[in-house]
Amino acid sequence: MKRVLGLLTLVFVVAAGCVEKRNFEYPDARKGDVVDVYHGVKVPDPYRWLEDPDAPESREWIEAENKLTFAYLEGIPQREKIQKRLTELWNYEKYGTPYKKGGRYFFFKNDGLQNHSVLYMTSDLDEEPTVLIDPNTFSEDGTVAMKDYEVSDDGKYVAYSVSEGGSDWIEWRVREIATGQDLPDLVKWSKFSGASWTKDSAGFYYSRYDAPSSNSALRSVNEYNKLYYHRLGTPQSADKLVYERPDHKDWGFSGGVTDDGRYLIISVSLGTERKNRLYYKDLSVPGSEVVKLIDVLEAQYAFIDNDGPVFWFRTDLDAPKGRVIAIDTSNPARNNWQEVIAETEETLRGVNLINDTFVASYLKDARTQVRLYNIDGTDAGEIELPGIGSAGGFGGKRSDTETFYSFSSYSTPSSIYRYDFESNTSTLYRKPDVDIDPSRFVTKQIFYTSKDGTRVPMFITHKKGLWKTGNNPTLLYGYGGFNIPITPGFSVTNLVWMEMGGVYAVANIRGGGEYGREWHQAGTKLQKQNVFDDFIAAGEWLIEKKYTRPEKLAIAGGSNGGLLVGACITQRPDLFGAALPAVGVLDMLRFKDFTIGWAWMSDYGSVDKKDEFDALYAYSPLHNIEEGTSYPATMITTGDHDDRVVPAHSFKFAAAIQAAQAGEAPTLIRIETRAGHGAGKPTTMRIEESTDKLAFLCRELKM
């Protein structure tokens, strides 16, 4: 049975001058009688049944929604042309930054349209490389992906993790590099973990959870993380438990072996909060106990390197924008800690020690700067970057004399550079051959004022010669959470959008990591509304400055950014012409009840606390949909195997907004099967999704 929402008329003029009209019938979504009570407040949850994506009723609804959405998308005349252009531009060689270990260089390369990048190795960068791992052989449809890898210190083995269907669950496998053959070793039920080899290459450390029941692996709550050691040639059942805290089910552990092989550094986290405890274990002493070097959760401590018992850390302790300190573990009292690199006006995002030089990566108004410091913290210059954009990489060891980094901007794809510490020069190593002319586009950074007077930066990119008529289709993107900065980067999808005449804007709103801890915390818990106010103010600024108007303004964001989009269209449905919330956190009252959702309470707060419940309920997108409201054209996207932000968020939000929609704009949901939160998604799937998003905007913004 289907519910008819009246005549939905979508009108657009195509090249031939014809006009098309369409009617919509949304699939029926049964309203249940579930009601929860929070601090005396009764909150209905009529679509609770959609939380089980495998139930027959849910599968029927998913199939019906997809049938409706894909029929709509396939009826857009421009879709085929958009897909063709996306495929053309996507088809270029993409290189990752080389990483040296055991006398070889390792790097990823994608020929262009391969579903997954291939891991190559070579002893000489000027020679033809050899394929080490090709994830495209894992499955025919590309839905089994490689997530991470770590080469042993002697270069004999590589541990690599594999994920199926986009799940966060990973399996660790081991390949012998000389033969290219996998060993029998298999480590399962790991999640959010890397692998760290011991110096003797006999095994590696990793973290995992207990195996969930077979029918709830993608939904059950992940608690009681444990740190293990796996010795090559033994079954996982024989793995040694290194550290656990059964008295703290919400603690997480990651273990990394120092480059000298002497210490195991254990970072102890609480959810996604940017604070951690820091423990270590002396591997040179058999049976040594775990030492609690820092056992208070007050700041972030990121281990950089060590000189014997002296550990260097990047921290925001007494420095919201970050600094570097040294702790002598043989004399660890806090009053003996030494500052090596002081806090600056820019935000310190990463530090590595290469060639006895600290390579420090900063953000200046969301743009990358890279500075060099000697071991004693004195200035050693700067790595000059090619322009305004984002640089990443800078890996290596203390004894290395070179490092590699990537650089990209909104109109320039990622190029790879080699930096030589002996000559203090950068040379271009790999530059992609793409059928675009970056000089056709212009990027500028502006600053606008949010509701409470806060100054917020925004990047705006478009084709040169744009006339600000107030009629340009504009796509505004944001994230605003978890201390994650949104920096300039190349995207084929965004480039095609700009080729179509669109303006692309990125607002660096509060909640992110652009300006350090204070900027992040100003967009969390009871202050989360600041994030939405910042984004709404960005849209108002674009309209005020005649870039666009509400009917031509679209907004997009994924995950926490999906929450951002959902909150903004429920708070200001009049301000936007279209919305693309992707894999969003949309039910703010139940996010902690699934998989790793409880870990987000450091940003969002908890319904168990009255004041935080009030704040969550006030902006929760699902709970602020109002019957009889004209919402902008909306296409929700999710994956039915997403075990990071479970698809129930998107399912329930779609059912609710379809039932409430009073206007003529479509409110659709596009559900990808055999897909998760986004990581490891094959190229074919990414192109199809980008095609559908651009086609949707093309039609709904009447381009």
Q: What is the token pair recorded at 552?
A: 């031509």
**Rounded Cα distance, 545 and 505, in Å:** 13
Q: Which residues contact 232 (CB under 8 A, 6 or more apart)?
A: 157, 174, 183, 185, 201, 202, 203
Instruction: Provide φ and ψ at 641, rounded to 5°.
Output: -110, 15
Q: Are residues 47 and 158 in the same domain?
A: no
Give the Cβ contact number of residue 573 at 10 Å.
20
Express each pLDDT in 650-682 by its tens digit: 999 999 999 999 999 999 999 997 665 556 689
Q: Would you say residue 331 lies in a domain? A: no
In order of 415, 463, 589, 694, the CA distances from 443 in angstroms are: 18, 9, 39, 21
Q: What is the pLDDT of residue 644?
A: 84
Q: Are residues 40 and 99 in the same domain?
A: no
Query: Which CATH number does the domain housing residue 454 bear?
Result: 3.40.50.1820
Q: Are residues 109 and 77 in the same domain?
A: no
pLDDT: is 167 or 683 the higher one?
Answer: 683
Q: Are residues 493 and 539 in the same domain?
A: yes
Q: Are residues 545 and 690 in the same domain?
A: yes
Question: Per-residue confidence at 22, pLDDT binned at 50, 70, 90?
Answer: very low
**Rounded Cα distance, 703 and 696, in Å:** 10
**Rounded Cα distance, 133 and 117, in Å:** 9
Q: Would you say residue 590 lies in a domain? A: yes
Could you say which of 206, 233, 263 is where a domain stops? 206
**Rounded Cα distance, 351 and 604, in Å:** 28
Inter-residue contact 224 to 246 (CB < 8 Å): yes
Inter-residue contact 579 to 632 (CB < 8 Å): yes
Q: What is the pLDDT of residue 23?
A: 56
Question: Per-residue confidence at 216, pLDDT binned at 50, 70, 90?
Answer: low
Measure the CA dihedral 41/47/49/51, to 10°.
Answer: -90
Catalytic residues: 559, 677
Q: Would you say residue 154 lies in a domain? A: yes
In order of 537, 582, 591, the CA distances from 586 in angstroms are: 21, 10, 8
Q: Are residues 76 and 119 in the same domain?
A: no
Element at 692 (helix H, strand E)? helix 683-700
Q: What is the pLDDT of residue 212?
A: 86
Inter-residue contact 158 to 145 (CB < 8 Å): no
Express each pLDDT in 459-518 by its tens digit: 999 999 999 999 999 999 999 999 999 999 999 999 999 999 999 999 999 999 999 999
Inter-residue contact 570 to 546 (CB < 8 Å): no
Q: Which residues contact 530 (CB under 8 A, 6 or more apart)?
A: 450, 452, 454, 510, 511, 522, 523
Measure the CA dihedral 170/173/177/183, to 10°.
Answer: -170
In order of 32, 167, 532, 585, 669, the CA distances from 648 in angstroms are: 15, 15, 23, 9, 12
Cβ burial of 488 (10 Å; 0-12, 13-18, 19+) is buried
What is the domain count for the chain? 2
**Rounded Cα distance, 268 and 255, in Å:** 9
Positive/negative CA dihedral, 384, 386, 389, 393:
negative
Whole-model pTM above 0.85?
yes
**Rounded Cα distance, 280 and 191, in Å:** 21
Question: Per-residue confidence at 300, pLDDT binned at 50, 70, 90?
Answer: very high
**Rounded Cα distance, 293 and 102, in Å:** 31
Could you say which of 174, 189, 206 is where a domain stops? 206
DSSP 629: B
Q: Are residues 499 and 633 in the same domain?
A: yes
Inter-residue contact 550 to 575 (CB < 8 Å): yes
Q: Are residues 672 and 523 in the same domain?
A: yes
Mean pLDDT (the chain, rounded):
94
Q: Would you say residue 297 lies in a domain? A: no
Total residue count of the chain as it appears in this document: 703
**Rounded Cα distance, 698 and 328, in Å:** 60
Q: What is the token pair recorded at 590?
A: 């139940």
Q: Would you say residue 655 lies in a domain? A: yes
Average pLDDT over residues 243-256: 96
Q: Would you say residue 545 lies in a domain? A: yes
DSSP string across 297-345? -SS-EEEEEEETTEEEEEE-TT-TT-EEEEEETTS--GGG-EEEE---S
Q: Would you say residue 5 lies in a domain? A: no
Express each pLDDT in 74-102 by its tens digit: 999 999 999 999 999 999 999 999 999 99
Element at 604 (helix H, strand E)? helix 601-604
Containing structural domain, residue 655: 27-88+437-700
Q: Are residues 541 and 467 in the same domain?
A: yes
Express each pLDDT in 559-589 by its tens digit: 999 999 999 999 999 999 999 999 999 999 9
Q: Are strands 553-558 and 503-507 parallel, antiparallel or unpaired?
A: unpaired
Q: Is 322 left (phi over 0), alpha (psi -120 to 50) or beta?
A: left
Could you say which of 163, 190, 206 is where a domain stops? 206
Q: Of the given ranges (142-146, 149-153, 176-180, 380-384), which has the lowest mean pLDDT?
A: 142-146
Average pLDDT over residues 150-160: 97
Q: What is the pLDDT of residue 7?
A: 29
